[in-house]
Structure 1
Amino acid sequence: MSDAAQPTAAEVRAAADAVKTALDRHLRAVERRTGDDDPAVFDAFNALAAAAEVYDELLYDRHDEVTPFEIPAAQDPLPPYAGPEEPHAVSVLIRRDYAVAEPARLLAQAQRVADLDPDGRDDEAGAGVHAALGVVFGEYEADEIASRHLEFGLEEGDSTLWVTAVDDLPEPGEWLAAPFDEADPALVVCRFDVSAVFDEEDELDGDPDGAVPQRT
Structure 2
Amino acid sequence: MSDAVQPTAAEVRAAAEAVKTALDRHLAAVERRSGEDDPAVYEAFNQLAAAAETYDELLYDRYDEVTPFEIPGAEDALPPYTGPEEPNALSVLIRRDYAVVEPQRLLAQAQRIEAADYVEGAEADGSGTVHEALGTLFGEFEPDEIASRHKEFGLEEGDSTLWVTASDDQSDPGEWLEAPFEGVDPQRVVCRFDVSAVFDDEIADEIDDEGDFEDELDADPDEEDDLEPLER
TM range (shorter): 0.5 to 0.7
The code of the aligned residue for 1:81 comes to: P
1:19, CA displacement in angstroms? 1.0
Q: Does structure 1 conserve the Cα–Cα contact (< 8 Å) formed by 2:26 and 2:44?
A: yes
- Quick one: structure 1 residues 58 and 148, their matched pair in 2 at CA, closer, same or farther if it must change by over 3 Å? farther
* Match of residue 170, structure 1, among 142, 165, 172: 172
Tell me the distance in 1 between the aligned counterparts of 2:60 and 2:187.
40
Tell me the distance in 2 between the aligned counterparts of 1:65 and 1:144.
51
Tell me the distance in 1 between the aligned counterparts of 2:47 and 2:188.
25
1:47, CA displacement in angstroms? 0.0
Q: Secondary structure at the match of 2:97?
A: strand
Unpaired segments ≥5 residues, structure 2: 115-123, 204-232
Q: How does 1:1-216 map to 2 (within 5 A)?
A: 2-3=1-2, 7-10=6-9, 11-74=11-74, 75-76=77-78, 77-79=80-82, 81-83=84-86, 87=88, 90-100=89-99, 103-105=100-102, 107-116=103-112, 117=114, 118-122=124-128, 124-125=129-130, 136-151=137-152, 152-162=154-164, 164=166, 167=169, 170-171=172-173, 173-181=174-182, 191-196=191-196
1:46, CA displacement in angstroms? 0.9
1:144, CA displacement in angstroms? 1.6
Q: Secondary structure at the match of 1:3?
A: coil
Tell me the distance in 2 between the aligned counterparts of 1:58 and 1:146.
46
Tell me the distance in 2 between the aligned counterparts of 1:9 and 1:132.
65
The code of the aligned residue for 2:92 comes to: L
Q: Does structure 1 conserve the Cα–Cα contact (< 8 Å) formed by 2:110 and 2:133?
A: no
Give a deviation string over 1:92-138, Cα, whole Å, max 9, x none.
Answer: 422123252xx432x2333214543433222x22xxxx777556545
The code of the aligned residue for 1:157 comes to: D
Give the structure-1-normalised TM-score: 0.64
Unpaired segments ≥5 residues, structure 1: 202-216
Q: Secondary structure at the match of 1:157?
A: strand
Moved more, 155-164 or 17-26: 155-164
Tell me the distance in 2 between the aligned counterparts of 1:121 and 1:91.
37
Q: Secondary structure at the match of 2:193?
A: strand
1:21, CA displacement in angstroms? 1.9
Give a deviation string over 1:184-208, Cα, whole Å, max 9, x none.
Answer: 67877x645234588899xxxxxxx
The code of the aligned residue for 2:127 comes to: R
The code of the aligned residue for 1:60 comes to: Y
Identity among equivalent positions (%) equals 51
- Quick one: structure 1 residues 99 and 53, their matched pair in 2 at CA, closer, same or farther if it must change by over 3 Å? farther
- The residue number in structure 1 matching 2:117 is none
1:142, CA displacement in angstroms? 1.4
Tell me the distance in 2 between the aligned counterparts of 1:5 and 1:177.
57
Tell me the distance in 1 between the aligned counterparts of 2:101 and 2:31.
54
Q: Does structure 2 conserve the Cα–Cα contact (< 8 Å) formed by 1:149 and 1:156?
A: no
Q: Does structure 1 conserve the Cα–Cα contact (< 8 Å) formed by 2:84 and 2:168?
A: no
Q: Secondary structure at the match of 1:93?
A: strand
Q: Does structure 2 conserve the Cα–Cα contact (< 8 Å) formed by 1:109 and 1:136?
A: no
- The residue number in structure 1 matching 2:224 is none
Q: Secondary structure at the match of 1:178?
A: coil
